[in-house]
């Protein structure tokens, strides 16, 4: 790329950034409006992101709660799981174990499946007795551990979104109540001067038209 073209492209990219930085740090009506819009956009994107993540988590939990329940009841195809790979989730100590499932009758072999209900002695190459109860990419150690984990995820999401909905509802109710009080607010003004001054009750200025304000001022 020629130097002149590179400089022109750099200026085209830098000018909007400079303008946005100026609006974000300066004072004035335009800057205030920009910051409010930026905060609103950030909150909107945050809510959309949380909603999308929650939908994915709920979908996965609902898809696996049936197979995990069947595994808790001891239903499914018995077999062995051999761990081939493992990695941490986030900063915690929880590990995800992936490996190969082979049924006891050697009729089914599935690679790249995840183990649910990991035993404490789990390690790479160790074989664990599991059940394939119909989940897409998960096999389960017999017991209630898998279904309890999915139930906890669903409960956390229900509590979170119930609290969020309650908070939004309370804020909306407070805002509507404030608007209602503003609508019925009465402003008192002294019209005239001296001994002829009269105390007049007026609606809020923003509720009066220009003609109404002129009539009041001419009294």
Evaluate whether residue 24 is within a structural domain.
no
Evaluate whether residue 202 is within a structural domain.
yes
Q: For residue 215, what are its two tokens?
A: 């009539």
In the block, which residue shows the tokens 């017999």? 142
- Please give the distance of CA 14 from its chain centroid, rounded to a whole number: 32
Evaluate whether residue 96 is within a structural domain.
yes
Evaluate whether residue 109 is within a structural domain.
yes
Residue 20: other Cβ atoms inside 10 A? 12
Average pLDDT over residues 52-77: 68
Q: What is the mean pLDDT of the chain?
A: 70
2: left (phi over 0), alpha (psi -120 to 50) or beta: beta
Evaluate whether residue 112 is within a structural domain.
yes
Residues 96, 86: contact at Cβ < 8 Å? Answer: yes
Domain boundary among 142, 167, 195: 142
State how far the Cα of 180 lies from the Cα of 132, in Å rounded to an integer.
Answer: 60
**Which residues constitute the domain of residue 197?**
187-217
Give 72-119 pLDDT, tens digit per residue. 676 788 899 998 888 877 665 678 888 999 998 888 888 888 888 777
Predicted local distance difference test score (pLDDT) of residue 81: 92
Domain count, the chain: 2
State how far the Cα of 215 lies from the Cα of 208, in Å rounded to an integer.
Answer: 11
Domain boundary among 142, 163, 197: 142
State how far the Cα of 64 lies from the Cα of 68, in Å rounded to an integer.
Answer: 6
Evaluate whether residue 204 is within a structural domain.
yes
Domain boundary among 142, 166, 195: 142
Residues of the chain with pLDDT > 90: what percent? 3
Average pLDDT over residues 198-218: 54
Q: For residue 164, what are its two tokens?
A: 């969020």
Average pLDDT over residues 37-46: 72
Evaluate whether residue 193 is within a structural domain.
yes
* Secondary structure letter of residue 177 according to DSSP: H
Using 50, 70 and 90 to split pLDDT, how confident is the model at 205? very low
């Amino acid at each position: 790329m020629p130097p002149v073209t590179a400089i022109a492209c750099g200026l085209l990219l830098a000018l909007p950034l400079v303008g946005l930085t100026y609006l974000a740090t300066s004072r004035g009506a335009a800057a205030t409006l920009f910051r409010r819009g930026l905060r609103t956009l950030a909150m909107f994107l945050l809510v959309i992101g949380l909603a999308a993540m929650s939908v994915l988590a709920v979908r996965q939990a609902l898809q696996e709660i049936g197979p995990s329940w069947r595994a808790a009841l001891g239903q499914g195809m018995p077999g062995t799981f051999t761990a081939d790979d493992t990695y941490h989730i986030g900063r915690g100590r929880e590990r995800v174990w992936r490996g190969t499932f082979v049924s006891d009758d050697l009729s089914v072999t599935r690679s790249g499946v995840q183990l649910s209900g990991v035993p404490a002695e789990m390690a790479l190459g160790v074989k664990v007795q599991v059940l394939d109860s119909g989940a897409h990419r998960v096999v389960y150690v017999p017991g209630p551990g898998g279904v309890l984990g999915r139930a906890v995820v669903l409960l956390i999401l229900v509590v979170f979104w119930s609290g969020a909905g309650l908070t939004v509802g309370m804020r909306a109710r407070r805002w509507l109540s404030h608007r209602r009080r503003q609508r019925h607010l009465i402003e008192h003004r002294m019209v005239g001067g001296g001994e002829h001054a009269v105390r007049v009750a007026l609606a809020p200025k923003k509720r009066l038209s220009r003609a109404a304000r002129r009539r009041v001022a001419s009294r």
